[in-house]
Structure 1
Amino acid sequence: MRILVTGGAGFIGSHYVRTLLDGGYPGYEDAHVTVIDALTYAGNTENLPIGHPRLHFVRGDITDNALLRTVVPGHESVVHFAAESHVDRSVSGASEFVLTNVAGTQSLLDACLAAGVRQVVHVSTDEVYGSIATGSWTEDRPLLPNSPYAASKAGSDLIARSYWRTHGLDVRITRCSNNYGPYQHREKLVPQFVTRLLAGDTVPLYGDGTNVREWIHVDDHCRAIQLVLTRGSAGEIYNVGGGTALSNRRMTELLLELCGADWSRVRHVEDRKGHDLRYAIDDGKIRRELGYAPRVPFRQGLAEVVEWYRANAAWWTLPAVA
């Protein structure tokens, strides 16, 4: 069995690859994995067990059609993580997001069609739904993205669905809430705050901190992706949640506590343009149909992540993220 993982040197993709190679997914203990990753600022080969006998690493971009024609053939399944994913960067410059997330997804799906790939899992985000004041989104809610990042991911979702509907390619889409875990790039809230606090710096809190996000441990997310790969259905969309919703202010309080710091280390900064107030997804579908449930208790998982960054300073002691 051969699986191609795009963006497999990034945070979520590398966790999926490490778990796969460690025999963490039943029935896939002997799977051979090819990772393709452009190794832009957020990709890191140190996240992967380079040299593992069942891992083949290819440095390359998913917009490179010629490369994809050589890499994709021979793989039964593709798990598509590769994406530009940071909202702030998309606000300051959207072109790379549209190129990678939309055009790159289209190039990858063309290569999958040509190679006869059996199934593709397209990994997306709850941000495609926009912001919701009350209640939660089900998979049939309209897409109302509010940032260039979210809009580019919504575009990639629609491209993916169209390849199922038009070409009959078995594409399954996942939309997940905010991830946390080890090996996450420092631009994201949890690792940025943890590494700054451990280094004795201040942390920036947008606006009044009332924006609400739902959090999921990366291991739970990757298990859900594997469930969609093995038990999901072509053309279906699956929301993936972690069950813990917190305001950014409350998350800041928890991280201060875990890092032994206080509110004197917090500086309030101007709110992000178009900042969504609240995300909330209904993941009843994946629970009912595929048997998914998060396993990592949030407080335990968050404490373990703080300790991982504390113990792995060599991994993150790079110039601070502005």
Structure 2
Amino acid sequence: MEPLFLEPIFMDRIWGGSLLKDKFNYNITSPTTGECWAISSHEHGDCVISSGIYKGKRLSQLWNENKELFGNTPGDKFPLLTKILDANENLSVQVHPNDEYAKNNENGELGKSECWYIIDCNEDSEIILGHNAKSREELESMVNKNQWEKLLKIVKIKKGDFFYVPSGTIHAIRKGALILETQQNSDTTYRLYDYDRLDSTGSKRQLNIEKAIACTNVPDANFDRVYTVVLKDNFRCTTFVSNEFFSVHKLDIFGECKFKHNKPFSLYSVIEGSGKLVHGTSEYNLIKGVHFILPYDIDEFTFSGNMEIICSHI
């Protein structure tokens, strides 16, 4: 009965920068670190438990061998993945498949619906979210003619914004944004456009235009950003999204507050501030950049301090 703290995994990206080191004090030497895989059991980045009785074991190993920690949730893969992204330059314009398409075309991989919490961004930051094509034929024509300004929907962003990005949505994070991403446990991305830039070998990165067009939702869907807020004496809980893939909340802690834990398991990422987690007679220090899972057998716990925490669960 103890929380599972994890060691993040860092990924270099052509569009990465230094904010993961500068903002979270992670031990990173590369100047182009784009992604922190904070809670992940994916084969491309499988986090190690950093302390406690399961120290040294990978999250995928616990999922396979200790299902009781996760309420015996069915499935051969841990369902969620938490990342922090530093977009020092524009990410490619891309789309992710749904579960059915990924299963049939990507060796049983899960689909990838995701969502973004804007931790911080430049004053003029934007994202691409959606498209203007009225039919798949029009979509294909606009892509082939490189009519990106006509095709793509541009959205201004600010610190504290949240966006749900379901599978089949054309999207891109643009430069100047630091984002926490909650997603299905998948690493399948189909690129539509990459600004004709070159990688470290002097080559253009691979595009996946045929698959991307096949996966894109046409016409584009609009999603209302309607949040539920619960305010108590020492905390505020904002629910951003709750669907078949995940529920995502933001906890603002300003004091001591007790919580009931009635989920099979829950994922937590401290994105600002510091404090403590208390369970029974055990006390754990929490600082900005710490990520952990509360397993099934923890039914009550206490947060104290001044913190901003992103929480997710299935």
Using the size of structure 2 for normalisation, the TM-score is: 0.28
More helix by share: 1
